[in-house]
């Protein structure tokens, strides 16, 4: 019976609301936001980050083995970029011609033509990327590979941060060959940030850095910021294992300076290979940064696992989503906490609309909510003006600065009532055809 899962789903929604009650806004806007439309775009599997091309009026959705392209004027699927093992993130260049897609399990970044939606090239890299950020001044594309390593018996293979996309919080995982085994993950505390020359389509530098590097965001003024989660580092020295904690922080990379250092690194080798990337080992910098082209900003201990990040380059402010239902506003020049605001459970991706001075936090746990924060740049103050209930697992968000509309994605989950034995657990599964875009606006 095709309608049974939907009916059972509706019966379960109050239970989720009891787990996480709707937070109360500190101030309600005279024109509150609401869900204006639900566009059912289909597709199956996990999803991850979104990207918007405001000029072409297109929404890009990293959705399992493909990237769906949705026409924002009609809500229809305008095309699909397929052939990925698992698409994670989309970044767009500043020319309007090209876009980039991270394919984590394939250890690759693909370049596609935004007019034809065809993949023009695929660049293998030395790790599994998740987040991407295009820096327009240096024309560098930054691909971030987190510090999650799986011990597979024959060595450790770098893996991306495998938080269940559109689902639960960060979770441990094993490789396919070791699923169900007793081997534990080995967090050595080293991430890799790959700097790619977008114009040449080549890796310029492979930067090893200490910490769990996660979400990258360019400020449009030459820098890329990355949220860094707290993790443990292990070192074996003099016959003993030393373990210590690397604190959470925000890392800042200067694009032009990194490009210059990569060039110097290539030319300083005894037998330089012109097309070979520079290997920059900054892992001993730990949590201090300490370089002109790489500095870090501390986060309070309450924000040990930051997720999404947005940047206000004009007013030197960062907006970081924390795992304790807080959004921190930080000064980009020193990391001072300007404001701390309560969001909702499962805060993940943050979006910023500079024209309207609005910050959006997508919170996907429990019932799902969108926290809307008003910025007053004149007084450097921030206030939650609305907490809009959305849907469970709607935790990735993008804002169209040309219209002010906000977009989230999620699906419906039903319960499988097929008997599986007397003591079998209840099984849930996505309802076919329920994957949708939530359109939020005034």
The length of the chain in residues reads 442
pTM, 2 dp: 0.86
CATH of domain 4-441: 2.130.10.10
Instruction: Give the start-end residues of each E strand in 198-308.
Output: 202-210, 212-218, 223-229, 231-237, 240-246, 249-254, 278-281, 294-298
3-class SS at 213? strand
DSSP secondary structure letters along 353-365: ETTTTEEEEEE-S
Is the distance from CB of 406 to CB of 398 less than 8 angstroms?
yes
pLDDT truncated to tens, each residue of the chain (442 aa)? 334 344 344 434 433 433 444 555 555 557 899 999 999 999 999 999 999 999 999 999 999 999 999 999 999 999 999 999 999 999 999 999 999 999 999 999 999 999 999 999 999 999 999 999 999 999 999 999 998 643 333 333 434 333 334 433 333 332 223 333 333 344 578 999 999 999 999 999 999 999 999 999 999 999 999 999 998 877 777 888 878 888 999 999 999 999 999 888 776 655 456 568 889 988 876 555 567 788 999 999 999 999 999 999 999 999 999 999 999 999 999 899 999 999 999 999 999 999 999 999 999 999 899 999 999 999 999 999 999 999 999 999 999 999 999 999 999 998 877 777 767 777 888 999 999 999 999 8
- Rounded to whole angstroms, the Cα distance separating 358 from 373 reads 6
Give residue limits of the domains in the chain.
4-441
CA distance to 15, 126, 249, 300, 309, per residue, from 330 (Å) = 36, 32, 11, 11, 11
Q: For residue 244, what pLDDT is reported? A: 81
Is the distance from CB of 16 to CB of 392 less than 8 angstroms?
yes
Q: For residue 28, what pLDDT is reported? A: 59
Cβ atoms within 10 Å, residue 424: 10
């Amino acid at each position: 019976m095709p309608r049974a899962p939907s009916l059972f789903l509706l019966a379960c929604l109050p239970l989720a609301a009891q787990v996480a009650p709707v937070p109360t806004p500190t101030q309600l806007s005279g024109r509150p936001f609401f869900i204006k439309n639900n566009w059912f775009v289909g597709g199956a599997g996990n999803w991850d980050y979104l990207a918007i091309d405001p000029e072409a009026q297109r929404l890009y959705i990293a959705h399992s083995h493909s990237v769906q392209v949705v026409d924002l004027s009609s809500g229809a699927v305008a095309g699909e970029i397929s052939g990925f093992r698992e698409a994670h993130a989309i970044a767009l260049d500043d020319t309007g011609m090209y876009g980039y897609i991270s394919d984590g399990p394939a250890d690759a970044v693909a370049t596609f033509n935004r007019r034809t939606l065809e993949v023009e090239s695929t660049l293998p890299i030395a790790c599994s990327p998740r987040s991407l950020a295009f820096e327009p001044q240096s024309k560098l594309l930054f691909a971030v590979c987190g510090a999650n390593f799986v011990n597979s018996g024959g060595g450790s293979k770098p893996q991306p941060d495998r938080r269940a996309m559109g689902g639960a919080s960060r979770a441990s995982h094993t490789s396919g060959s070791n699923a169900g085994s007793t081997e534990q993950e080995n967090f050595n505390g080293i991430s890799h940030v790959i700097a790619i020359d977008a114009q040449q389509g080549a890796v310029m530098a492979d930067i090893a850095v200490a910490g769990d590097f996660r979400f990258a965001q360019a400020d449009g003024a030459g820098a890329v910021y990355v949220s860094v989660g707290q993790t443990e580092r292990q070192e074996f020295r003099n016959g003993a294992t030393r373990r210590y904690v690397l604190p959470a922080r925000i890392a800042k990379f200067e694009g032009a300076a990194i490009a210059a250092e990569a060039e110097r690194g290539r030319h300083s080798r005894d037998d330089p290979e012109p097309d070979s990337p520079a290997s920059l080992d900054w892992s001993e910098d730990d949590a201090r940064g300490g370089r002109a082209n790489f500095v870090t900003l501390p986060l309070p201990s309450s924000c040990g696992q930051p997720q999404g990040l947005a940047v206000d380059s004009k007013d030197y402010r960062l907006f970081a989503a924390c795992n304790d239902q807080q959004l921190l506003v930080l000064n980009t020049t020193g990391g001072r906490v300007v404001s701390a605001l309560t969001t909702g459970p499962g805060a993940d991706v943050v979006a910023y609309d500079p024209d309207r001075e609005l910050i959006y936090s997508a919170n996907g746990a429990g019932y799902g909510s969108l926290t809307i924060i008003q910025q007053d740049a004149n007084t450097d103050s921030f206030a939650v003006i609305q907490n809009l209930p959305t849907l469970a697992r709607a935790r990735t968000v993008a804002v169209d600065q040309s219209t002010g509309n906000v977009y989230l994605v999620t699906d419906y989950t039903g319960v499988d009532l097929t008997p599986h034995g007397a003591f079998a657990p209840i099984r849930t599964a996505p309802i076919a055809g329920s994957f949708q875009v939530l359109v939020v606006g005034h």
